[in-house]
Structure 1
Amino acid sequence: MSAGREHRGGRLRLTGLTVAASGLLALLIGGAFAVLLWAINDANDSISARRASRTALVKSGSMERLLIDLETGQRGYVITDREEFLEPWQAARRALPTEIRGFTASTTSREQRRAAERITRDVESFLYDYSVPLVDRVRRGDPAAGSLAEATEGKRRVDDLRDEFHRYMTDERAQLAQRTDAAGTNSRQAVLAAALGLAASTALFAVFTLLQHRAVVRPVRRAAAAAQELAGGDLGVRVAPSRIAEIGALGTSFNSMAASLQDSRRRIMESTEAVHRRTARDLHDGAQQHLVGLMIGLRLARESLPDTETAAIDLLDRSVDSAQTAINELRELASGIYPLVLTVKGLVPAVRDLASRCPVPAVVVCENERRISSTVESNAYFVVAEAVTNAVKHARASRIDVFVEFGEKLRVRVVDDGIGGVDKATAGNGMTGLADRVAAFDGKLAIDSPPGGGTALLIQIPIRD
C-alpha cells in the first residue's frame, strides 16, 4: 500500500508539473514563433537586397564586357582594315542601349545610381565621340587613324572606364558584404533566441516522456524485436544492456539463452560436419577401395580365361561394368557428403570443382584466397552448392557467377541470370537451412531476386583467426 501511495503521489506531482509546464510551454512557443517570424521577415529583406546586389554586379560585368567588345572590334578593324573584325563592335553598339537601361535600373542605392549614370555617359562618349569617328576615318582611308596617338587615346579611355567599373563593383560588393553581415547577425540572434525558447519549452515536455520511453518503452521494444529475430532463426541477435534492473535482468537472460542456442547449434553443425568428413573418408578409403580391388580381380579373372569360355567372359564383363558403376555412384555419394577437394585444398578449389561439374556455365572469381576454419569452409561450400543447384533446377539460368572474397569477413556472392522472384519467405526449407548454416557462425544471408531479374545470394561470415 505504501508503494501504491508513493506511485499515486508521483503521478499527481507529475500531473501538476505537466499542467504548469504546458502553460509555460505555450508562452515560450508563442514568443519563439514571434521571434522566428521577425527573423524570417528580416531574412527575406536581406535575401532581396543580396539578390539585387548580385543582379547589379552581373549587369556591371555585362556592361564591361560590352565595352571590351567595342574596343576589341574597333582595334582589330583599325589594324587590319577588314570589315569582319567590326562584327563584335557592331553587335556591342546595337546592344548598348538595352544594356545601359538594365545597368542603371539594377542599381541598389542613390550613390550607385549616380556612379552608373556617370559610367554610361563615359561609355557613350567612348563610342560616339571616339570609336565611331575613328572607324569612319579608317573607312575613309585616313592614315592618321592608325597612329600611335590614336591607339594611346583609346587605351587611356578604356583603362579609365575599367577603373570606374572596378570602383563601382567594389562599392557594390562592399554593400553586399554589409547587408550579408547584418542579415547574418540578425538571423543568428533571432535563431539563438528562438532556439533558447524552443529548447526550454521542449525540455519541459521531453523530460517526462523521455524518462518513460527510456525506462520502459524502448527496452521492451528492443527485446520484442530481438525475440522476433531469434524466432526467425537469427541466433546472433542480442539485447543491449539496460540501467533498469528488471529490464537488465530480462536482457541478460535473453542474451544467455541466445548465446546458448547459438553455441549449441554451432557444436551440432561442427559435429555434423565432422561426421560428414569421416563418412566421406570412410567411403573413399573403405568401401570404394574394396570395390576397386574387386573390379581389378574381376578383370584379372577375365584376362585369365580362354576365349572359348564366352559365357564366363560375358558374365565377368557384366560384373566389371557393375563394379565400375558402383564405384562411380559411391564416389558421387562421397562427394555429395563431403568433397575430398574441400578437405585437401580448401573452399575456392572446391567451388571451382563444383563449377566445372555444373551443367550451366559457371565462373568463379576469388580475391585474397586463403585457408580458414574448415567448418566455415564446409558450410560456405554447401551454401554455394545449394544456390547453384537451385539456379540450375528452378531458376532456368544460363549463367552463374560466384564471387568469393576473404577479408575480415568471408563474403560469397552467387549470381544467376534466371527468372528471379525468390525471397526467404517463398524459398522454403532449403533457404531456411542455408540461413541456419550461416547464422550459426554469426553470419548474415541476403537475397536480391526481382522477378525476371535473376537472383543474387550473398553470405557474410566473420573470419576468426
Structure 2
Amino acid sequence: MGAGRGHGGRPLGLTSLTIAASGLLALLIGVAFTVLLWAINDANNSISARRASRTALVRAGSMEQLLIDLETGQRGFVITRREEFLEPWHAARKALPLEARQFTDSTTSEEQRRTAERITQGVRSFLDDYSVPLIAKARGGDPTAGSLEEATEGKRRVDALRAQFDEYMSDERVHLAERTDAAGANSNQAVTAAAVGLAASMALFAVFTVLQHRAVVRPVRGAAAAAQELAGGDLSVRVAPSRIAEIGALGSSFNSMAASLQDSRRRIMESTEAVHRRTARDLHDGAQQRLVSLMIGLRLARELLPGSERAAVDLLDQSIDNAQTAINELRELASGIYPLVLTVKGLVPAVRDLASRCPVPMVVDCEGERRIPSTVESNAYFVVAEAVTNAVKHAQASRIDVFVEFGEVLRLKVADDGIGGVGKATAGSGMTGLADRVAAFDGKLTIDSPPGRGTTLLIQIPVRD
C-alpha cells in the first residue's frame, strides 16, 4: 500500500509541469487570439463600411453645393441682369454630370442609391425645367422672370431638394453611427481578450521565473514599458515582434489595442471637423447669402436715386460699405471654422488661401498636386494651420515657407526664420495638439529647431485611397 501511495503520489517533474503549463498557455492564447481575430476582422469590416459612409456624405455635400451654386447664380442674375453673377451657375452646370455620377456611385445600399437617383433627377429637373428657362426669360427681358411667382417656385424646388438631401444624409449618419458602435464593441472584445490572455500568461510565468527569465520576463517588461507610454498618451507606440510565440502574440494584441485607440481618436477628430464643416456651410448658406442679397438690393436702390439726393445717396453708400464689411467678416469667420475652399478645391488652394490671410509673409509650394481623401486633406490643412499659428505667435518670424508633396505619403514642410529653440521640453499646448493630430492618422512629426536659426516641421501622413 505504501509503495502504491508513493507511486500514486509522485509529483510531476519540471518537464511535465512545463509541458502542462505550456499546453494550458497555448490553449488560452489560442482562444484569446480566435476572439481577437474575429473582433479585428469585424472591426476592419466596420472601418471599411464607415469609410464608405463618409465618402457618401462628402459626395452628397458636394452635390448639394452644386444645387446651391445653381440657385445662387440664377437668383443673382435675375435680380441684377449681370453676367458675372452666372459664373458659379455655369461652373455648377458643367460639373453636374460628373458629380451626379460620383454621388450615385458612392451610395452604400440599394435604398440609398434609389434616393440618390431621385435627388439627382430632381437637381437635373431643377436645372433643365426651371433654371435654364428662367435665365432665358431674364436675358430676353421678360418681366415675369423676376416675379414673386417665379421666385416662390424656385424656393419650393430648392427646399424640396434640400429636404431630400437632409433625409439622405441623416440616414447615412445613422448607418455610420451603427457601424461605429459595432467597431467599438469589437474593440472592447479585443481588449478583454488581450487582458484575459495577459493575466493567464503572467500567472503561469510566475512558476517558471528563474528558468524563463530571458525568454519571458524581459519581453514582458518591454511590453509594460510600452503600455506606460500608451497610458501617457503616445498612441503610436508599438511592441516589437518577438521570436517567442507567446510574447509575439502578446505584442500583436497590444498593437491591435493601440491601433484601436488611435482609430478612436481619429474618429473623434473627424467628428469634430464634420461639425466645423457643417457650421461653416450653414454660415455660408444662411447669413452670408442674406447679406449678399441685402447688398445687391442696396446697390440697386443706390442706382435708382438721382444724384441730387445726396443725403440718401451717402446713407446708401455707407450701408453698402457696412454690408460688405459684414460679408467679409462672416466669410473670415466661416473660413476659420472650416474653409469652403478646402472642400471645393482641395488642400493646396486652402493653404494658399491661409497664406493670403497670414500676417507674416508666407510662400506656398507643392509637388504632384492632386485631390486626396477628405479626411487626410482636412487633417493636413489644420496641421499646417496650427504650425503657421505657432510660428506667427511665438517664433518672431519674418517669413514662413510651406512645401506640400503628394504621393503614397503626404509630406508637409513648414519652416520659419524665427528664434527657434523648440523641443519636447519646451513645446506648448499648440505643438502638443499638432503632434496628437499627426499621430491620430498614423503620421510622423519631426522638429528641427536650433536656437536662433528658425524652426522646421516635417510631417508625414499616409494617404489611403
Q: TM-score, normalised by structure 2?
A: 0.51
Residue 395 of structure 2: SS of its match in structure 1? coil
Aligned mates of 2:264, 2:386 — CA distance in 1: 24
Shift of 1:417: 0.9
Structure 2 unmatched ranges of 5 or more? 1-9, 19-208
Deviation at 1:374, TM superposition (A): 1.0
Q: Which letter maps to 1:280?
A: A
Given residue 406 of structure 2, which amino acid in structure 1 is its aligned partner?
F
AA aligned opposite 1:398: S
The aligned counterpart of 1:337 is 337
- Number of the residue aligned with 2:387: 387
Distance of 1:3 and 1:321 partners within structure 2: 97
Cα distance, 1:398–1:252 mapped onto 2, change above 3 Å = same
Matches for 1:255-404 after TM superposition, within 5 Å: 255-305=255-305, 312-404=312-404
User: For residues 3 and 393 of structure 1, what CA distance do their matches in structure 2 show?
Assistant: 73
Alpha-carbon offset, residue 413 of structure 1: 1.0
Q: Tell me how large the CA RMSD over aligned residues is.
A: 3.2
CA contact (8 A) 1:219 1:242 kept: no
Question: Is the contact made by 2:387 and 2:434 (CA closer than 8 Å) also made in structure 1?
Answer: no
Structure 2 partner of 1:16: none
Superimposed CA distance per residue, residues 338-373 of structure 1 (whole angstroms, 9 cap, x where no aligned partner):
222221221122222322333323222222222211
Query: Residues 373-392 of structure 1, C-alpha deviation per residue, up to 9 Å, x if partnerless?
Result: 11111111111112122222
Q: Which residue number in structure 1 is paired with residue 445 of structure 2?
A: 445
Q: Separation in 2 of the partners of 1:243 and 1:263?
A: 28
- Alignment of structure 1 residues 28-177 onto 2, 5 Å: none
- CA gap of 1:385–1:356, structure 2 versus 1, over 3 A, is same
- 2:395 aligned partner, one-letter code: A
The one-letter code matched in structure 2 to 1:219 is V
**How many angstroms apart in 2 are the aligned matches of 1:413 and 1:422?**
16
The structure-2 alpha-carbon separation of the partners of 1:360 and 1:253, relative to structure 1 and needing over 3 Å to count, comes to same
On the 8 A contact 2:390/2:431 being kept in 1, the answer is: no
Q: Contact (CA 8 Å) 2:391, 2:397: kept in 1 or not?
A: yes
Aligned equivalents of 1:423, 1:442: Cα separation in 2:
21
Taking the aligned partners of 2:305 and 2:344, their CA distance within structure 1 comes to 41
Report the equivalent of 2:408.
408
Aligned residues: 266
Indicate the residue corresponding to 1:433 in structure 2: 433
Whole-Å separation in 1 of the counterparts to 2:445 and 2:347:
18
- CA distance in 1 between counterparts of 2:273 and 2:337 reads 9
Question: Structure 2: how far apart are the matches of 1:393 and 1:401?
Answer: 16
SS across alignment from 1:394: helix
In 2 relative to 1, CA 426–433 (structure 1 residues): closer, same or farther, beyond 3 Å?
same
Q: Match of 2:220, as an amino acid?
A: P
Change (3 A) 1:410 1:6: same
Matched to 1:396, the amino acid is Q
2 CA distance for matches of 1:3 and 1:252? 36
Change in CA separation of 1:313 and 1:369 when aligned onto 2, cut-off 3 Å: closer
Cα deviation for residue 313 of structure 1 reads 4.4
Structure 1 residue matching 2:453: 3-state secondary structure: coil
Are residues 1:454 and 2:448 paired? Answer: no
CA distance in 1, matches of 2:309, 2:364: 53
Q: What is the aligned partner in structure 2 of residue 417 from structure 1?
A: 417
**CA 1:312–1:434 in structure 2 vs 1: closer, same or farther (change >3 Å)?**
same
Give the Å deviation of 1:414: 0.7
Residue type of the partner of 2:283? L
Q: Out of 315-324 and 429-438, give the one that drifted further.
A: 315-324
Give the Cα separation in 2 of the matches to 1:464 and 1:351. 21
- Tell me how far apart the structure 2 counterparts of residues 211 and 364 of structure 1 sit (CA, whole Å): 57
Structure 2 vs 1, CA of residues 451 and 228 (structure 1 numbering), >3 Å: closer, same or farther? farther
Distance change in 2, residues 1:233/1:327 (3 Å): same
**For the Cα contact (< 8 Å) 1:421–1:455, is it kept in 2?**
yes
Report SS of the residue matched to 2:396.
Answer: coil
Q: Distance in 2 between matches of 1:3 and 1:315?
A: 105
Q: Distance in 2 between matches of 1:420 and 1:215?
A: 45
* Equivalent residue number for residue 26 of structure 2: none
Match of 2:219?
218
- Greater mean alpha carbon deviation, residues 210-219 or residues 448-457: 210-219
What secondary structure, in the 3-state scheme, does the structure 2 residue paired with 1:397 have?
A: coil
What residue identity is the alignment partner of 1:428? G
Unaligned runs of 5+ in 1: 11-207
Secondary structure of the 1:411 match is strand
CA distance in structure 2 between the partners assigned to 1:255 and 1:293 by the alignment: 55
Rg larger for: 1
Is 2:387–2:414's contact at 8 Å kept on the other side of the alignment? yes
2: distance between equivalents of 1:369 and 1:442? 21
Deviation at 1:331, TM superposition (A): 0.5
Q: Distance in 2 between matches of 1:4 and 1:425?
A: 56
Identify if the C-alpha distance between structure 1 residues 286 and 424 changes in structure 2 by more than 3 Å, giving closer, same or farther.
Answer: farther
Post-superposition Cα deviations, 1:15-57, rounded to whole Å, max 9, x if no partner, equal xxxxxxxxxxxxxxxxxxxxxxxxxxxxxxxxxxxxxxxxxxx
SS of 2:284's partner is: helix
- In the superposition, the TM-score normalised over structure 1's length comes to 0.51
Distance 1:454 1:227 in 2: 35
Runs of 4+ off more than 6 Å: 2-5, 243-246
